[in-house]
Structure 1
Amino acid sequence: MEEQELLSILALKKAPLIGDIMAKKLIRTFGSATAVFEQSMREIAAIEGIGDKKAQFIKATDLFTKADKELEYVHKEGITTRIYYEDNYPERLQYCVDGPIVFFEKGNIDWNNPYTLSIVGTRQITSTGAAFLEKFIEEIAPLKPLIISGYAYGVDILAHQLAIKHGLQTVAVVAHGLNQTYPRNHEAYNEQMMANGGFVTDFWHTATFDRKNFLGRNRIIAGLSEATVVIESAAKGGSLVTADLAAGYNREVFAVPGRVNDKYSIGCNELIKQSKAHLLTKAADIPYILGWKERNTGVQKQLFVELNEDEKLIYRYLKENEKELLDIIAININKPVHQVASLLMSMELKGVVKPLPGKMFMLV
């Protein structure tokens, strides 16, 4: 991108009362961000939704002074900028009407990963939630998804740590500039994050931590992912906001159920009860709902030895019969259909079986 266009994008991003939706409208109308600033105040004000006051903000003389300082920081620190209409902008975020016109990135992130999951939840994660999350990441790891979260206490930081532990890329979306870390003691994980993914934000480096920034941060978490997983949540909380945003982007939402009296299960139970989220009880639910297939990871034989006794029954049956209907498998191994369906999902995640049209299954 030409330096002038990037500078104009930054200036437009800084204009008061001009959000990402309106900025995209202006760019679409006049052809580029640079062209927006070449128009007269009257031409800008004539755009529906702008008017004289917003046009005055766009023509303010100090916007480019501020944009110059931000661009200087970007170049000095080696920050990558992603512009919404360029090919290197994450595809899923492009489909979000309020996705940022520009965001800042540092690290080593593969946005071409076909599988992306956002994992969110309470900052006061319980031992039950932590145990579920650890098992979940371990079991989903063969699919090599990109794990996205918000670098906060509790569910967020544990999701990042477990992703790194299992060799997965992970991205922290933060609600402040990239020249700082919040919470402060999470600086201890920055180096590992940079080596195994990185950080993104659409806030300038001069933007300090502020709770009002969470909504903007959460829309990016939801928008970058194919699905959002809520591990634990109280009746109110940022993770529920992220889940709503994901649903608004027509993305899948999953929630881990819990006991009705548990404080940090209330939010998840409500999502499931209101049909806002799929019930999530194991990692195999993700590929089953999303249609993910195991990529060539070279781990199938290793996972085979971890089949439980019921899964081994299915394996032996399919080995003798090549492929078979779900209902017929259930009859022949003398198990309920719903139990066999669950077992087949688990085996699919482990790379042992694959589904065929018409509820047919065969060994990989």
Structure 2
Amino acid sequence: MIPEEYLYAIALRECSLIGDINFHKLVRTFGSAEEAWKRAKKEYSKAEGIGRKTVADIGNDEYLKFAEKEIRFCEKNHIRINLRHLKEIPSLLNECDDAPAILYQKGNFDDSLPKISIVGTRNMTSYGKQFIGDFFESSKSSKFISVSGLALGVDKEVHEQSIHHKIPTAAVLAHGFHTLYPSKNKKLSEKILEEGGALFTEFNSSRKPDRENFIQRNRIIAGISPSTIVVETGFGGGSVSTASFANDYNREVFALPGKITDPYSQGCNQLIFQNKASSVSTVKDLIDSLGFNHSKEKAAELFPYSETNLQLTENQEIIYLAIKAHPQVSLDDLAQIISTASYKILPVILELELLGKVKSFSGRQFTAI
């Protein structure tokens, strides 16, 4: 039997102007969802930033009826209802101001294990697939949970590689548990559960996979883990929003760089250049950064090179030597030093960064490695 607090929480969250932040304000003010449901309409002024219009829907019997139906659906389908104000959602996610008030869950999720979110384009290339395979092969002796969004492409590969290497994986959905989108991944979702993983969604069983839900879903993927890896994405891809959420939550972001001419590397390159993500230079370095350096297996370099045979172009050499002579030089100062427009320098610096010769800092400052 599910306690009444869950009934009132679902009803309260269903009110038209009660989003996750307002829900949290009301529960914090009145002590519980039940008390907020019973008192907020008359005593709304006690809650900071809550007006009469915000609470207008509270107390509507239709929402209670919906909540009763939702609880029956959850009981029938073995869905766990996690309430944020009862500290039932994953601990890192709970730290986010806009964390979901309610998080529905199927399967198992060991919150004590490290989490890593890995996202990317639906149009994954062989380059991205190889990286994901190499990453899971090199980290298979480590204990962690992979998190992704169960979309086609990179997400699908992340979940499948996790299962293959016996690493638990969690998928965050953009709709209720009454359906599975994309339908092609239905068997994969079942396999995730069979192998001890989990499915999460903040959406109840009335919510379809509408476009706006996917961006909202991405904040959970970013918030649930201390680190997010963006494998491949184009300019403005959904994974860029996941990286932005992770930045807002002060989480680590890594991006897999690629050729500046490859459309599904351009989003990653942009994140790196804007200092919104650290560049992945080798799988070994990435694993070390994630705290997996206890792995006994040697991880191969993703971009192997040796100092003796790495040949820089003339432009690369000029800019590299100037940066080397002026550690943490700014872009504007560098442009003056070599008498070249900054817009001509930027692409070359990105090339040097991808080669592991230059590191960028906030404020568009650079140093030689």
| Cα distance in 1 between the residues matched to 2:67 and 2:19 | 16
The change in CA–CA distance for 1:194 and 1:79 in structure 2 (over 3 A counts) is same
Q: Note the 1:141-220 alignment, pairs <5 A.
A: 141-196=140-195, 197-220=197-220
C-alpha displacement of 1:293: 5.2
| Cα distance in 2 between the residues matched to 1:242 and 1:189 | 22
Partner of 2:62: 62
C-alpha displacement of 1:178: 1.2
SS in 1 for 2:48: coil
| Cα distance in 2 between the residues matched to 1:110 and 1:192 | 17
SS in 2 for 1:100: coil
Residues 119 and 149 of structure 1 are in contact (CA less than 8 Å); yes or no, is this contact kept in structure 2?
Answer: yes
| Cα distance in 2 between the residues matched to 1:101 and 1:88 | 10
1:93-127 C-alpha deviation (Å, 9 max, x unpaired): 110111111111111222221x1111101100011
The change in CA–CA distance for 1:141 and 1:282 in structure 2 (over 3 A counts) is farther
C-alpha displacement of 1:46: 5.3
TM value normalised by structure 1: 0.78
1:80 aligns with 2:83: no
The letter of the residue matching 1:129 is G
Partner of 2:313: none
The letter of the residue matching 2:89 is Y
C-alpha displacement of 1:230: 0.3
1:134 aligns with 2:130: no
C-alpha displacement of 1:282: 2.8
The change in CA–CA distance for 1:26 and 1:59 in structure 2 (over 3 A counts) is same
Q: How many residues align?
A: 301
C-alpha displacement of 1:62: 1.4
Please provide the CA RMSD for this pair. Answer: 2.0
SS in 1 for 2:82: strand
C-alpha displacement of 1:198: 2.1
The change in CA–CA distance for 1:102 and 1:166 in structure 2 (over 3 A counts) is same
SS in 2 for 1:55: coil
| Cα distance in 1 between the residues matched to 2:293 and 2:94 | 24
Residues 120 and 239 of structure 1 are in contact (CA less than 8 Å); yes or no, is this contact kept in structure 2?
Answer: yes
Which is richer in helix? 1
Q: Percent identity?
A: 39
The change in CA–CA distance for 1:40 and 1:149 in structure 2 (over 3 A counts) is closer
The letter of the residue matching 1:168 is I
C-alpha displacement of 1:59: 2.7
The change in CA–CA distance for 1:159 and 1:152 in structure 2 (over 3 A counts) is same
| Cα distance in 1 between the residues matched to 2:229 and 2:207 | 28
The letter of the residue matching 1:71 is I
SS in 1 for 2:250: coil
| Cα distance in 1 between the residues matched to 2:102 and 2:293 | 32
C-alpha displacement of 1:244: 0.2
| Cα distance in 2 between the residues matched to 1:201 and 1:194 | 14
Indicate the larger mover: 140-149 or 27-36: 140-149
The letter of the residue matching 1:6 is Y
| Cα distance in 1 between the residues matched to 2:94 and 2:289 | 23
SS in 2 for 1:234: coil
Partner of 2:360: none
| Cα distance in 2 between the residues matched to 1:67 and 1:307 | 52
1:95 aligns with 2:110: no
| Cα distance in 2 between the residues matched to 1:307 and 1:178 | 40
SS in 2 for 1:133: helix
Indicate the larger mover: 80-89 or 122-131: 80-89
1:207-255 C-alpha deviation (Å, 9 max, x unpaired): 1111110122111101111111000010111100000001111100000
| Cα distance in 1 between the residues matched to 2:87 and 2:34 | 19
The letter of the residue matching 2:188 is Y
SS in 1 for 2:52: helix
Residues 119 and 229 of structure 2 are in contact (CA less than 8 Å); yes or no, is this contact kept in structure 1?
Answer: yes
Partner of 1:250: 250
Residues 254 and 277 of structure 1 are in contact (CA less than 8 Å); yes or no, is this contact kept in structure 2?
Answer: yes
Partner of 1:9: 9
Partner of 2:314: none
The letter of the residue matching 2:103 is F
Residues 108 and 195 of structure 1 are in contact (CA less than 8 Å); yes or no, is this contact kept in structure 2?
Answer: no
Q: Note the 1:1-364 alignment, pairs <5 A.
A: 3-39=3-39, 41-44=41-44, 47-113=47-113, 115-196=114-195, 197-292=197-292, 294=294, 300=296, 303=297
C-alpha displacement of 1:87: 4.6
SS in 2 for 1:57: coil
The change in CA–CA distance for 1:88 and 1:36 in structure 2 (over 3 A counts) is closer
* Structure 1 gaps, min length 5: 309-341, 343-364
The change in CA–CA distance for 1:209 and 1:165 in structure 2 (over 3 A counts) is same
C-alpha displacement of 1:61: 2.6
